[in-house]
Amino acid sequence: MGHIVLTVERIDQVMPFYVDVLGFKLSDFALRPFKAYFFHVNARHHSLALIETGTNGIHHLMMELFSLDDVGQAYDLAQGEEGRIGATLGRHTNDFMTSFYAYTPSCFMVEYGWGGRNIRPETWTSMELEHGPSLWGHDRTWLPPEQRAEAREMRLKAAELGVRQPVQVIKGNHELMAGTCPWWDMTVRAAE
Ligand SMILES: [Fe+2]
């Protein structure tokens, strides 16, 4: 279980309950292409998020997988069904999750992903996400056309500005290769 995201009419009306009563801490927030606030209670970047879409309900549940291939193989399955995908494969700017979203029969979505990030809550300071919620991908079929276009613009801008984040791995789901990067290794070899 990764996190839950609730859609609400007004974030400012429900935030005090989660922050002041339940003790959630703000991780970060996005104001464009839609309002989204992310909260943590431990090292997981967010266990709860609130997005403002004008309705109240569950937006999605996030399930995190051990292997990136689990996500890709499920994506193949979901793509086989008309209308199943709610957001295409993509990667988030804040928790670095690589994921896609699929509709459940109850019309909320399940985010199926890999590689979520840990933070250090003691030293963390919250900030605005200037590039929106996704580094690439996550084309959201549920967004109105103008916001969908704005989201795409923001992703392209992030790419143009060179925004890249390291892959988050755990023991057992990756193998570390020799060397640093092909360009650096070549430069070192040439100098020897
Ligand atoms: Fe999510």
Domain with residue 108: its CATH number is: 3.10.180.10
For residue 141, report the distance from its CA to the centre of ligand 1, in Å.
Answer: 15
pLDDT at residue 178, rounded to an integer = 87
What tokens appear for 149 in the block? 């276009």
Number of domains in the chain: 1
Global pTM exceeds 0.85: yes
Average pLDDT (104-114) is 96
For residue 4, report the distance from its CA to the centre of ligand 1, in Å.
Answer: 7
Distance CA 75, CA 8 (A): 28
pLDDT(107) > 90 = no
Cα-Cα end-to-end distance for the chain = 49
pLDDT(115) > 90 = yes
3-state secondary structure of 98: strand
pLDDT at residue 183, rounded to an integer = 87
| Full domain range(s) for residue 38 | 3-191
Quote the percentage of the chain above a pLDDT of 70: 100
pLDDT-based confidence at residue 161 (cuts at 50, 70, 90): very high
For residue 81, report the distance from its CA to the centre of ligand 1, in Å.
Answer: 21
pLDDT(192) > 90 = no
